[in-house]
Amino acid sequence: MRLIGVDGVIDLWGITRPKAYSDKRRGKWGPPDWIATGADVWLADRFGPEAGQVDLTRIDRDALPPLLGNKELALCFNVSVRTVETMQARGRQDVKTPEPYDRIGKTPVWWAPPWEEFARLTGRKFSLARLPPQSQRPGFIPYPKAE
**Which has the higher per-residue pLDDT, 78 or 147?**
78
Mean pLDDT of the 6-19 span:
94
Angle, helices 6-13/17-25, rounded to nearest 10 degrees: 120
pLDDT of residue 138: 63
pLDDT of residue 42: 93
d(CA 80, CA 77): 9
- The one-letter code for the residue type at 147 is E
Angle, helices 70-77/81-90, rounded to nearest 10 degrees: 100
For residue range 66-77, list pLDDT tens digits in order. Answer: 899 999 999 999
Note the pTM of the prediction, 2 decimals: 0.83
For residue range 35-52, list pLDDT tens digits in order. Answer: 888 889 999 999 998 888
pLDDT of residue 60: 80
pLDDT of residue 58: 81
For residue range 81-134, list pLDDT tens digits in order. Answer: 999 999 888 877 788 899 999 999 899 999 999 999 999 999 999 999 998 876
pLDDT of residue 51: 87
pLDDT of residue 19: 94
At residue 11's C-alpha, the angle toward residues 9 and 13, to 5°, is: 65
Mention every residue, 6+ apart, whose C-beta is less than 8 A from residue 58. 143
3-state secondary structure 80-145: CHHHHHHHHHHCCCCCCCCCCCEEECCEEEEEHHHHHHHHHHHCCCCCHHHCCCHHHCCCCCCCCC
Secondary structure class of 47 (helix, strand, coil): strand
pLDDT of residue 85: 93
Check whether 137 has a pLDDT greater than 80.
no
> By C-alpha distance, which of 106, 39, 112, 41 is closest to 77?
112
Check whether 79 has a pLDDT greater than 90.
yes
